[in-house]
Structure 1
Amino acid sequence: MNFSSFPITLFLIGITVIISLIGFGNQNLINKTIMWPYGVSKQKEYYRFITSGFIHADWMHLFFNMFTLYFFGRNLEFYFREYALGGSIAYLTLYFLGMIAADLPTYNKQKQNENYLCLGASGAVSAVVFATIIFSPWSSIYLYGAIRVSAAAYAILYIFYCVYMSKRGGGHINHDAHLWGSIFGLIYTLALIAVLQPALFTAIIEELKHPTLFGTG
């Protein structure tokens, strides 16, 4: 595998893993970087929209996000480059704006709650996942390494899961960010195609005419 073909994805994974690992043993770092809507509102700590995306709750949280980013991000990096959709700049813009957009609803809802905290790259990763699905909706995804479903079916299940977990609550993992990051990824990428390569919609629509629940392999 040619790792040089998706350097941005590897860079994002590398820096996130390094900062997250440091954070596991440094509560002071976590306190300074975690998403704290109350602090953002009262103390104008807007940087938390970004810094909170580079720290994680535990090993499993970090692994799941980076594993997902590796498999979807490298494909999206390829699509943005090969289809002349802005390449690395467009990809990085999606990732960081996805972080911010994913946390905005939570910020508005929790900015008077001094005790609410959340962290993780889930919003940005969700944006990458759903942006990638636009180009290949029926490709196969293996849940838990064994259950094969199409990318589009995964997207629907993912949305329902996020809504359910958001209503359930608990922990510092912001499931609302998964949902809004996903929506942002779709809107951003469709807008990018409309502006830069509208002819791609013909191929995308044609692909959608051949649905499959379990993916194409």
Structure 2
Amino acid sequence: MFARLTPVVKNLLLINIALLLIPSFLEFELAQYFGLRYIFASSFQPFQFITYMFLHAGFGHLLGNMFALFIFGPMLENFWGSKKFFIFYMVTGIGAGILYGAVNFVEMQQLESAAEQYIENPNYEGFVSFIQENASYVYRDWYDFIDAYGENPKKQEFIEGSIQRVKEVVRFQGNVPLIGASGAVFGILFAFGFLFPNTELFLLFPPIPIKAKYLVTFYGLYELYAGIQNVPGDNVAHYAHLGGMLIAFILVKIWQKGNTRFY
């Protein structure tokens, strides 16, 4: 099975696996320094647009990305050649990070604006609304405080406590690092579907065959829907996935010569 591995795909697999294992030996959290941060965060560094794509949150996260790289990467590397494939992987990954960073910038500006509005006019209803819209994942942890605030909405102690918690939400959101090869992997998935549109893939769930072009279309529409929905607590970087697909489309169109298709 591993005989089908091409050079770049093999090296990418090894690097990603190694970087998942290294922290367990060094007791050092790589994502805290090399994950992609909000561009105005004090911990942001430009090199994070590259390093973030080689880090993963755990074995399941790594497996999902590397399995897709293992399945679809070799055919693209054989088609383009190793140099071109590596360029494609890096550019789509970096491009995905840039698009995510742009969307994250807009979202952070909106969050900071909502926080400023609350701080100027703190009240119980506004606090509950802010938490539900921007930090529902901490609602249970703060349940006792929210309940007490509701019973004492005019008490300065709870008003000041709510302001501190609103600021904490902004700090937390601005310091969540983006990690994972998903942007580059979604770029690979798009390129495979574009270049080999009628290749049939056999899904595990449900166990049915599906043409690559339909699978890619489904994934793209789902990521767009999920990104627009922006459900609080959803820690999947949907716009990074879409960014990878967008950059992949641009590169494939630039590189494409004639109308060569493989079926």
Do both share a fold (TM > 0.5)? yes
Out of 240, 254, 258, which is 1:191 matched to? Answer: 254
Deviates more, 1:17-26 or 1:30-39: 17-26
Out of 215, 233, 242, which is 1:179 matched to? Answer: 242
Q: CA deviation at 1:5?
A: 6.0
CA deviation map 1:66-124 (0-9, x unaligned): 000011100101111xxxxxx22211111111111112122123245623422100001
Residue pair 1:110, 1:116 contacting (<8 A) in 2 also = no
Determine the structure 1 residue equivalent to 2:37: 36
Determine the structure 1 residue equivalent to 2:71: 71
> How has the CA–CA distance of structure 1 residues 161 and 23 changed in structure 2, closer, same or farther, with 3 Å as cutoff?
farther
Residue pair 2:6, 2:77 contacting (<8 A) in 1 also = yes
Count of equivalent residues: 193
Q: CA deviation at 1:164?
A: 2.6
Matched, 1:141 2:201: yes
Larger radius of gyration: 2
Residue pair 1:34, 1:118 contacting (<8 A) in 2 also = yes
Give the whole-Å Cα distance in 2 for the aligned partners of 1:29 and 1:121: 15
Determine the structure 2 residue equivalent to 1:132: 192
Determine the structure 1 residue equivalent to 2:221: 160
Q: CA deviation at 1:134?
A: 2.3
Matched, 1:104 2:98: yes
> How has the CA–CA distance of structure 1 residues 14 and 192 changed in structure 2, closer, same or farther, with 3 Å as cutoff?
same
Give the whole-Å Cα distance in 2 for the aligned partners of 1:72 and 1:96: 16
CA deviation map 1:33-73 (0-9, x unaligned): 1111235x656611111111011122211111000001110
Give the whole-Å Cα distance in 2 for the aligned partners of 1:44 and 1:36: 5
Residue pair 1:16, 1:55 contacting (<8 A) in 2 also = yes
Give the whole-Å Cα distance in 1 for the aligned partners of 2:16 and 2:64: 12
Give the whole-Å Cα distance in 2 for the aligned partners of 1:29 and 1:46: 16
3-state SS in 2 of match to 1:125: helix
Give the whole-Å Cα distance in 1 for the aligned partners of 2:225 and 2:24: 28
Deviates more, 1:9-18 or 1:170-179: 170-179
> How has the CA–CA distance of structure 1 residues 126 and 42 changed in structure 2, closer, same or farther, with 3 Å as cutoff?
same
3-state SS in 2 of match to 1:141: strand
Corresponding letter in the other structure for 1:154 = L
> How has the CA–CA distance of structure 1 residues 74 and 117 changed in structure 2, closer, same or farther, with 3 Å as cutoff?
same
Corresponding letter in the other structure for 1:74 = P
3-state SS in 2 of match to 1:28: coil
CA deviation map 1:138-170 (0-9, x unaligned): 112233362321100001110122123323343
Corresponding letter in the other structure for 1:29 = L
> How has the CA–CA distance of structure 1 residues 139 and 45 changed in structure 2, closer, same or farther, with 3 Å as cutoff?
same
Give the whole-Å Cα distance in 1 for the aligned partners of 2:218 and 2:193: 13
CA deviation map 1:153-210 (0-9, x unaligned): 00111012212332334354311111110121122012112xxxx23x1x33xx6xxx
Out of 119, 144, 149, which is 2:179 matched to? Answer: 119
Unaligned runs of 5+ in 2: 109-172
Deviates more, 1:43-52 or 1:98-107: 43-52
Residue pair 1:123, 1:179 contacting (<8 A) in 2 also = yes
Determine the structure 1 residue equivalent to 2:22: 22
